[in-house]
Structure 1
């Protein structure tokens, strides 16, 4: 049988070595030790083998199950598939801790946990906020029932509601804190309206990072900074984002000849390696999916808008790239223009960006919400390719 205590201790030590236990929230390390993720994991996990997701069952292979659950501090454990794709997971321990640190919970505050999943995040929140102070919303009735059982087993007094949180506020009136465990591309105004003036929301945005928003004194806006960089599953109740990868690109590309072609002098390696650039493109060209590959000629890239417009940026091995494009938009040119803009702005990092949410719109801004450049945050996302970034945290 696996030594779960040893695996927990190794993960704790790895986070300590990287400085991932936040000094301003010492309660988090104690809470994770008291409520380890294995107490909330189902008996079947799912592992990607390079071609498909394969079951990892605790009953038949407990060692593999435990290794999947405690792979490393940045690894999520897939707990549910829908249509062959992950639809729920136990998020990586590092990003759970980072987001809860950003939430700045105080004992006695009322917290709305959105996306209950297996209940681990809600249990950690309740450990800090106190019994009866956490309400958690889950749209999947099966997951909600599972979470209720696991929360009851650890005596976490959390109310779990089965509902669509994008349109249904929590029972019991306003809350002091809101935390979401799945990514949205547009922050539902109901989340802000449910938060008291001066309260805080922490949520994954754009499937590539998370943001902390403070609600204004008049309750008519929420604004704050990007806090971290990591990948998240998206909201199940909205239209899916454009999908990366060759299959999705080919569906948009079709078999017709390119409608435009030109050459540029540019090394595309940053599109593959520089997550500051990738985040900036997510902000500036939010509805274009991008993926990359490298061979002896260099890094090439492919992009599409999930509809009819596509681009192939093909490295030629001589420091030039040929840009082929088709459809009503020139998405390759849009990406290159956004890249040039990022260069001109001094190559900002994700932590230089912030977001403001209003009742009738929302936008991202750079360095200053009033005077800095801004971009609408209402469109669908650029989804990252399968080369996920390591979890990064706000300095």
Structure 2
């Protein structure tokens, strides 16, 4: 399939799914005028089940196009360092959703954190206008490649090299700020450099993105969760420990039968988000096999739990380490049910200079959970 056909197929799939935002028709026009393949490097990376392998446009253009336009929910890995992906051309559906959440108007000044390929910055510039977008990229090579791609597309964006979390361009307050990488805590500098009434959109916790509006006094920002997706963390974030590293080879210290239906750990995005909020340091991976649902849980330190399904016997929970993570997970699950099972879009976040927390239903009266410090 050639590039033009691939563009059309992806646009049609997003139309079929209702991914193009009705309130922001400018986004589809910007995507059509600024196709993602124009910002994809000639070398992409594909996971072959064991490692990331290069896919070069000059060698296999069909495979390259297939990666760029794999589908609304698929990102294309554009950089791998020490066998770990460090940059990508984000999946189109999420890019569109985040742009919609930003509520960007013509003439507004936008700061983007994480230039990457430059595609998102180009889309922002189509709306904000010439000179309205400044993008910060920590990797000098990525920044230079983005500058070239932006120039080739005829889009006016200033790209600066720097760490967005540690220092922002010396400018008057921004109307809009958008981050293209995930943070566990929203840096207060992002809020402080956004005008009262301004809006900030950022991925949080590698699991979703939030849109925050700065209060009139500039002393806080608050807003709702906008979507669910997985994002790369900020450059330099240590890799998360693997389950096997935490589990080790010591025997389980506790085991018991489990009679709870574990299927929601595979299927229910709302529950998984709620567990991420209630137990922010805990990682949950679940999968089905012929015997049922199995799950592997760890806290990145010393504690772990395994739900092991066995046909004819049932499910057994094995736990070890300083904490009993299976017990904690089930208690958090039960609290979520008792609260009425608030969904992803029932949650929001509030950020102040000293604290930040996720809440459900209402920022002042609803239940709340502090984010990682």
The alignment's TM-score, normalised by the length of structure 1, stands at 0.92
Query: Counterparts of 2:130 and 2:355 in 1: how far apart (Å)?
Result: 36
2:16 aligned partner: 17
* 2:208 aligned with 1:209: yes
Query: Counterparts of 1:135 and 1:259 in 2: how far apart (Å)?
Result: 54
- In 2, are the aligned partners of 1:193 and 1:219 still within 8 Å (CA)? yes
2:189 aligned partner: 190
Query: Counterparts of 1:377 and 1:345 in 2: how far apart (Å)?
Result: 19
How many residue pairs get matched?
A: 373
2:245 aligned partner: 251
| Superposition deviation, residue 320 in structure 1 | 4.2
Gaps of 5+ in 2: none
Matches within 5 A, 1:25-40: 25-40=24-39
1:310 aligned partner: 304
Query: Counterparts of 1:204 and 1:3 in 2: how far apart (Å)?
Result: 32
| Superposition deviation, residue 262 in structure 1 | 2.3
* 2:237 aligned with 1:238: yes
Q: CA RMSD in A?
A: 1.3
Query: Counterparts of 1:27 and 1:355 in 2: how far apart (Å)?
Result: 28
Gaps of 5+ in 1: 380-395
| Superposition deviation, residue 283 in structure 1 | 0.5
2:349 aligned partner: 355
Q: Secondary structure, in 3 states, of the residue corresponding to 1:16?
A: helix
Query: Counterparts of 2:284 and 2:75 in 1: how far apart (Å)?
Result: 23
Query: Counterparts of 1:101 and 1:337 in 2: how far apart (Å)?
Result: 36
2:370 aligned partner: 376
| Superposition deviation, residue 290 in structure 1 | 1.4
| Superposition deviation, residue 17 in structure 1 | 1.4
Query: Counterparts of 1:332 and 1:115 in 2: how far apart (Å)?
Result: 36
1:84 aligned partner: 83
1:352-377: CA deviations, max 9, x gaps?
A: 10000010110000001101000011
1:265 aligned partner: 259
Relative to structure 2, which stretch is displaced further, 358-367 or 324-333? 324-333
Relative to structure 2, which stretch is displaced further, 339-348 or 23-32? 339-348
The alignment's TM-score, normalised by the length of structure 2, stands at 0.97
2:295 aligned partner: 301
Change (3 A) 1:364 1:3: same
1:344 aligned partner: 338
Q: Secondary structure, in 3 states, of the residue corresponding to 1:13?
A: helix
- In 2, are the aligned partners of 1:198 and 1:217 still within 8 Å (CA)? yes
Query: Counterparts of 2:83 and 2:245 in 1: how far apart (Å)?
Result: 19
Q: Which of these residues, 322, 341, 344, is aligned with residue 328 of structure 1?
A: 322
* 2:283 aligned with 1:289: yes
Of structures 1 and 2, the one scoring higher in RCO (CA 8 A, sep 6+) is 1
1:175 aligned partner: 174
Query: Counterparts of 2:315 and 2:6 in 1: how far apart (Å)?
Result: 47
Relative to structure 2, which stretch is displaced further, 337-346 or 26-35? 337-346
Matches within 5 A, 1:117-136: 117-136=116-135
